[in-house]
Structure 1
């Protein structure tokens, strides 16, 4: 079976509403075509899958109903087993995500009535009930998949054996790569401005303790764009990739407790813990970043120009200057070397590089220092940086020593796929499965027909 990427429900609205409604006008008699455990699959579910794929720009002419039905069976098996394994998806979590998706749909097509009409529902309550089940099942599916692959680990010996087992004609080729380093200088925020933010957060905290809604305060005042829409809500565990200071405070609080203001690289926060479930914490937070003056931004530019001149005159190396003067602590101790966020190694494949970063380094020769670059990041604001290219690697066939981390990633992915396949094979045998006569001639990858 071909791998088919399931987009979010929002993907349905990435093409014009007129096109989508035209695709959906042909009525079909709906019926149950499959059962997996307690879950049923309707013929209309497969029709909806086609519409989703077309909305994402996927050419569906070579994708059969059997393939889409097989994917539906897989998803229902994951969701069914998630229930058996006591994986919990809370109603609050589903409703919060549903509100975000409905808002996005309405913004895309123009009105809530059009969204409801597309799904052929009578009113918003009927639509939310229908949409709730879809979201909950999707979340159960994804959490079950995550649980399976999270338990998969790979040893160096397994990586070596995987590499040795690749036929020469199938050996992967890795594109041209660069190693990039940068020095960052941020404008200095005055202590007076910091205190204004702290006082504002203390006032918000006081009002919440006196009965105001933390949700409403987050919507009104938080500068964290990722969480404003759901009232500053996050669910996290110790492995969630939040900055250390944020996690330290989050896991030090009891249910219902609100933190004092504390600082991270993004600004000042307060956190309110709503629920603690084992190793997971559900919380809301408010972020406000202190503002700097134009004079402070000018001083930051002058500072980085001085650093650059010292490097060019060989008074100090780029690496030493980064360790001594960079305001980016994530790269400072590594001599300013950037880690690729996708691979977590200090190399960037040019064809997959962030376009902004590529534009900044594309004309640089090895060890050349860029002019000061004014940059801006959400949550951090404006700052100046200088960039250099430490090393370049041309396109090449995979080399075990040079490309170990990439080969390890391929080997781990291969092992995860095999683990999922074995898991599915075992669960299919022990799960009640019924296939409609219309689909019993399909050639499935998995043994859904239990032959």
Structure 2
């Protein structure tokens, strides 16, 4: 099947995430899934086969072979279970379409291995730990999880999860390699846009640009020293007393890694962690425990678990200084005074943000927020963070919100005021006003074409066998090599 320009970009980079409810939708290149929050629709009627979900097949019957990978009927059944857990309407997805997506993943993974692309086992095991934790929270125990997925033990399930996650990780690496050098020129963007019939051009939803001022209760030197002293006590228990760092992390650390003994695997020098954290990780020897040190996230001690070439597995314990009620009251009073000065016209919101805001990321930009998804300053009102959206939904342009309390990543209360800098109503795509969005769509469409071209070439070069039960499927790719 050939993609339409409007539909193709929606399908790019969507993939199956195994046995865990994550924020993804599963599609194969036949366009199986729908993007619920989009103004566009995806045609899901591309495979006209009559094979329906959950038709009884021999459990371990081979559906297809791609290079060194074998896809059995159970893999397809398991994919339906995963989709159902994610709330996807599986009745609209045929076994042909599901098999098509699985074959794509195996093709990517097969050639990722041939090209020596690597995914650290520690990274895969970290994902599996999170998946098992989620499944246990949903089903109650590891035994029930193993039973639900028809495995003799949780160890057997872990092994299958490892294989599936490794395949998906390799597939992702291969896709990124295929598209990493794909670029788009202004002329290509222009051609992409004007090829779309005027009545079929995308509709962009209502958007806002928002600025904020953040005032944080100040941490006293006394509270800070108490945290340092506590971390030194824990460090002494490990270094001098022989206590387990992992156990101490479970007991005392205040972030999500605590349940894994503080483990953070596969840190590289370009990993998205605080510079101070990475510097410490790469300055220690294996088995060494750091002195307490500070990042923007809190105070840490760090233990180097394993050094693997240019990657380091570490464990850490993070604590946050306590904030007194008096400093909380002082911060609230300060932000209320700032708000009143803005409302009275004594200072602009932008100048107040530059002068008073405690948020470094937005202060120098006059408090203006950057959309982490798009990289620009516009937020789609239907997709923005619910807490933020609730505060600005009814604000007029230039109006200042009431003071409200939020919590930062440490759980500490902070006080905020917001203003709407600009509002943009829902509108058909405009080449000038929406150039960045159109450029993004054009680039995604070009990347899809690059992947299609790569697929066509590699299918011809790769051993592919499709079971007779699926020979009549109308796959989007030439899997049966007709």
State TM-score, norm by structure 2. Answer: 0.84
Equivalent-residue separation in structure 1 for 2:406 and 2:92 (angstroms)? 45
The answer to whether structure 1 residue 335 and structure 2 residue 366 are counterparts is yes
Q: Deviations over 1:330-374 (max 9, x none)?
A: 000000001112112111111112111111112222211122111
Alignment correspondent of 1:140: 170
Matches of 1:278 and 1:412 in 2, distance apart?
35
Q: Deviations 1:165-218 (Å, cap 9, x if unpaired)?
A: 333222212111111111000001110111111222233334444443332222
What secondary structure sits across from 2:92 in the alignment? coil
Q: Does 1:409 align with 2:440?
A: yes
Q: Does 1:56 align with 2:66?
A: no
Residue 304 of structure 1: aligned partner: 335
1:18 alignment partner in structure 2: none
Q: Report if the CA contact (8 A) 1:188-1:292 is conserved.
A: yes
1:161 to 191, 194, 199: 191
2:202 to 165, 172, 184: 172
Q: Give the gaps of 5 or more residues in structure 2.
A: 4-10, 23-52
- Measure how far apart 1:306 and its partner are: 1.5
Corresponding residue for 1:432?
463
Q: Kindly indicate whether residue 112 of structure 2 is the aligned counterpart of residue 102 of structure 1.
A: no
The corresponding residue for 2:74 is 44
Instruction: Indicate if the aligned counterparts of 2:381 and 2:393 stay in contact, CA closer than 8 A.
Output: no
Deviation at 1:95, TM superposition (A): 3.2
- SS of residue in 1 equivalent to 2:317: strand
Task: Assess, with a 3 A threshold, how the Cα gap between structure 1 residues 274 and 179 changes in structure 2: closer, same or farther.
Answer: same
Say if 1:81 and 1:293 are closer, same or farther in 2 by CA, change over 3 A: same
Q: 1:416 to 1:386 in 2, by over 3 A?
A: same
Separation (CA, whole Å) in 2 of partners of 1:230 and 1:289: 19
User: 2:62, 2:239 → 1: CA distance?
Assistant: 52
d(CA) in 2 for partners of 1:404, 1:263: 42
TM-superposed deviation, 1:69: 1.0
Contact 1:30 / 1:44 at 8 angstroms: preserved in 2?
A: yes
Which of 386, 390, 395 is the equivalent residue of 2:421? 390
Structure 1 counterpart of 2:214: 184
CA contact (8 A) 2:182 2:446 kept: yes
Instruction: Indicate the residue corresponding to 2:378 in structure 1.
Output: 347
CA deviation string 1:8-32 (max 9, x = no partner):
30349xxxxxxxxxx9897735311
Specify the alignment match of 1:212 in structure 2: 243
User: 1:218–1:285: 8 Å Cα contact kept in structure 2?
Assistant: yes
1:8 maps to what in 2? Answer: 18
Query: Contact 2:286–2:304 at 8 Å: present in 1 too?
Result: yes
Instruction: Quote the Cα distance in structure 2 between the aligned partners of 1:285 and 1:319.
Output: 38
**Count of aligned positions:** 440
8 A contact 1:267–1:380 mirrored in 2: no
Q: Is the 8 A contact 1:265 1:380 kept in 2?
A: no
The 8 Å contact of residues 65 and 466 in structure 2, kept in 1 or not, is answered as yes
Q: TM-score, normalised by structure 1?
A: 0.89
Query: What is the distance in 1 between the residues matched to 2:352 and 2:436?
Result: 28
Q: CA deviation at 1:79?
A: 1.6
Deviation at 1:254, TM superposition (A): 5.3
**Contact in 2 for aligned 1:33/1:435 (Cα 8 Å):** yes
C-alpha distance in 2 between matches for 1:40 and 1:183: 56
CA shift, 1:252, in A, is 4.9
- CA deviation after TM superposition for structure 1 residue 439, in Å: 1.4
Aligned partner of 2:315 in structure 1 is 284
- Which region of structure 1 is more displaced relative to structure 2, 392-401 or 114-123? 114-123
Match of 2:37 in 1: none
Aligned partner of 2:114 in structure 1 is: 84
CA distance in 2, matches of 1:415, 1:252: 43
Tell whether the 8 Å contact from 1:79 to 1:137 is kept in structure 2 after alignment. yes
The residue number in structure 1 matching 2:48 is none
Aligned match of 1:15: none
* 1:413–1:128 CA distance, 2 compared to 1 (3 A): same
1:131 & 1:394 partners in 2: Cα distance?
45
Q: CA deviation at 1:62?
A: 2.9
Whether the 8 Å contact between 1:37 and 1:77 is mirrored in structure 2 is yes
Residue equivalent to 1:17? none
Greater shift after overlay, 286-295 or 45-54?
A: 45-54
CA-CA distance at 1:323 after TM superposition:
0.7
Residue 70 of structure 1: aligned partner = 100
Matches of 2:376 and 2:258, distance apart in 1: 32
Task: Report the Cα distance in structure 1 between the residues aligned to 2:332 and 2:203, rounded to whole angstroms.
Answer: 41
Q: What residue number does 1:321 align with? A: 352
Quote the Cα distance in structure 2 between the aligned partners of 1:94 and 1:243: 22
**Residue deviations 1:398-435 (CA, integer Å, cap 9, x gap):** 22332222122212211221122122222212211111
> How far off is 1:63 after superposition?
1.8
Judge which range, 407-416 or 190-199, deviates more. 407-416
1:58 & 1:443 partners in 2: Cα distance?
A: 22
